[in-house]
A = this chain, B = another copy of it.
């Protein structure tokens, strides 16, 4: 591919002036070992760093695989057009001054670049980016100072500075790169394209993303689901701050942050989500150097009790187990350690441990059927031979290539040399026991996630096209045509009927006489509530009456509710609001059961997000929620429910039988289908949904259209 492995590169805007980006990039290519042809281009001509300077692209007679453009934004379209004419297949635009400056001019220029790239089929990276680095061919086509070590990590960054910092730090972290791509404004190539490139790139086994936005969430999910089966993907998503939740018009909107979609993305696809830049670096380091952890069982080997306890605490938090050695291995190890040592897990070789003791402990663990990974801890006590222990770890673990090891050498200068030795041998070393354990947990997740992912994919192939209520999409669209804002109760009824979403029996009473007739038809006990487009929090203003047992009570409720509603509407003084309620809605009294919420919102990048959670009064108190990206099948709906703390409620507690989980999961699937088929629905709340062993009923629903 010409972008990743070009055999010749032109630099438009190559400069002889040190400190200019057009000089730095040329210098990086010329001096850091890139073996292909290099063509500096500058109307001034002459020679820079021993290379002939071409006055224009046309002047170059050779073929050019990749062009790097480093000239003022306004000049870039013309330059790219010339490259197109010369049939250069790939381009990187470093220059800034496009959409990121938020001017019309910037927007226009970027659109022009995209159009030209399309016209000439140019693969375009940038603009406003740091460039591209490919250590295996010593290509530093960026203005980052140094070529980082080569390796198997592809790093795709929406921030050039973060990429620089990571590459600068890489040598001491033991991270090697197959690729570093700064995607800048993502005018053409975006995270999806880079993910596909990394998928095909044989050098890459781990893909790290620093992203501030995801342009096409649904496409990214689709590709990631496929790639995660083969390669580890780690995501550091910045800008997770949850803004604007207060302004949401629905419970679901209030519960969903921008984060919910990212969390759903990661749990659905098997992407590792890093929650800090440190965790991101740690994950890249360990996933790129160690095999997966096949079970939860690990051994901790230490020369000190304290760090051993800290590691044990961290293991418990991470869901890892510390099994005992088998009796045979325990018996073998005991005589090799002093009496005061412990062969319980954590295995404590005690303060004066030498390399031989570490070796004995490591071999016992490596050979033990109970152990699938080892966390090695060391503190530099007076006689501790740090380097010898490092070399022992390398030697012993080399013969157990399927067993992961992570290391914490806890200290400062005393452990520096040993740490370096380990990293040179691709063993991840961390400064604290907790981070060494968390790295092991990432290796466990890598194993577990690819398994989940395989299962998910197999399942999705079957059900994604099977609509539970086939063919109602067009009917639903017709029903909603021309409507906007909060959907009225009667349309909600019709819509939900199409999707077989269970609402209680109900009827709208416009007069007191109506109320009595309808009440007798539905049956007692009844609930009465106001029906008025602009009244949202009905209970708060006395517009709901429950447990009405006879016609006298119904009559009284009707009169009071209508009076309260009118009083409220008049008091708001908002000319936008309807001043007269539609009437009073009489509903079948709801069965006793647990209250859940099922909801949906439409995300700009990921499309409909489906929510399942604990409903009713506890909804926003405990925020016990699970989100998934639609389409959600009944099986995925089950997984969502199982993610909730309230799952135990569904399973039955304290003598209460199991709820009809099938029916609830099926309801969630139909909500997902409705959201897919009705693109004008913006937000949706079914809250509460009453769930019991016998029934699942939607007690209250709110549908908001664009």
Identify the A interface with B (CB < 8 A): 19, 21, 24, 96, 101, 143-145, 157-162, 164-165, 168-173, 210, 212, 236, 238-242, 276-278, 303-307, 309-310, 312-314, 316, 340, 351, 379-383, 410-415, 431-435, 537, 539-542, 617-618, 621-622, 624, 645-646, 648-649, 653-655
Whether A654 pairs with B540 at a CB distance below 8 angstroms is: yes
CB pairs A–B below 8 angstroms (22 shown): A96-B340, A143-B382, A145-B382, A158-B306, A160-B304, A161-B304, A161-B381, A164-B381, A165-B307, A165-B380, A168-B380, A170-B412, A172-B412, A173-B412, A238-B309, A238-B310, A241-B312, A537-B654, A539-B654, A621-B646, A621-B649, A622-B624
Q: Once the chains are docked, how many angstroms separate the CA of A389 from the CA of B277?
A: 23
Q: Once the chains are docked, how many angstroms separate the CA of A19 from the CA of B379?
A: 17
Q: Once the chains are docked, how many angstroms separate the CA of A231 from the CA of B108?
A: 59
Known contacts A165-B379, A171-B412, A238-B309; 11 further A-B pairs (Cβ under 8 A): A145-B380, A159-B306, A162-B304, A162-B410, A164-B379, A170-B412, A212-B306, A238-B306, A239-B312, A618-B618, A621-B645
Among residues of B, the one whose C-beta sits closest to the C-beta of A410 is: B165
| Assembly stoichiometry (copies) | 2
Specify which of B306, B413, B617 is in contact with A162 (CB 8 Å cutoff): B306
Q: Once the chains are docked, how many angstroms separate the CA of A618 from the CA of B615?
A: 13
Which residues on B sit within 8 Å (CB–CB) of A242?
316
Which residues on B sit within 8 Å (CB–CB) of A21?
382
Whether B313 pairs with A432 at a CB distance below 8 angstroms is: no
Q: Once the chains are docked, how many angstroms separate the CA of A118 from the CA of B26?
A: 77
Whether B162 pairs with A379 at a CB distance below 8 angstroms is: yes
Which residues on B sit within 8 Å (CB–CB) of A278?
431-432, 434-435
Which residues on B sit within 8 Å (CB–CB) of A169?
410-412, 431
Residue of A170, A305, A412, A414 ringed by the most chain B CB atoms within 10 A = A412
Whether B239 pairs with A313 at a CB distance below 8 angstroms is: yes
Q: Once the chains are docked, how many angstroms separate the CA of A406 from the CA of B701?
A: 49
Which residues on B sit within 8 Å (CB–CB) of A413?
168, 171-172
Q: Once the chains are docked, how many angstroms separate the CA of A654 from the CA of B381?
A: 61
Q: How far is the CB of A24 from chain B (nearest CB, A)?
A: 6
Residue of A101, A143, A379 ringed by the most chain B CB atoms within 10 A = A379
Whether B239 pairs with A309 at a CB distance below 8 angstroms is: yes
- Give me the 10 closest cross-chain CB pairs, A-B, nearest first: A159-B306, A161-B304, A168-B411, A165-B410, A161-B379, A169-B412, A162-B306, A238-B309, A540-B655, A168-B412
Which residues on B sit within 8 Å (CB–CB) of A165?
307, 379-380, 410-411
Q: Once the chains are docked, how many angstroms separate the CA of A478 from the CA of B444?
A: 57
Among residues of B, the one whose C-beta sits closest to the C-beta of A173 is: B412
Which residues on B sit within 8 Å (CB–CB) of A173?
412
Which residues on B sit within 8 Å (CB–CB) of A210?
306
Among residues of B, the one whose C-beta sits closest to the C-beta of A212 is: B309
Q: How far is the CB of A519 from chain B (nearest CB, A)?
A: 24
Q: How far is the CB of A487 from chain B (nearest CB, A)?
A: 22
Q: Once the chains are docked, how many angstroms separate the CA of A460 from the CA of B165?
A: 51
Among residues of B, the one whose C-beta sits closest to the C-beta of A305 is: B159
Q: How far is the CB of A448 from chain B (nearest CB, A)?
A: 22
Q: How far is the CB of A15 from chain B (nearest CB, A)?
A: 13
Specify which of B172, B316, B622 is in contact with A645 (CB 8 Å cutoff): B622
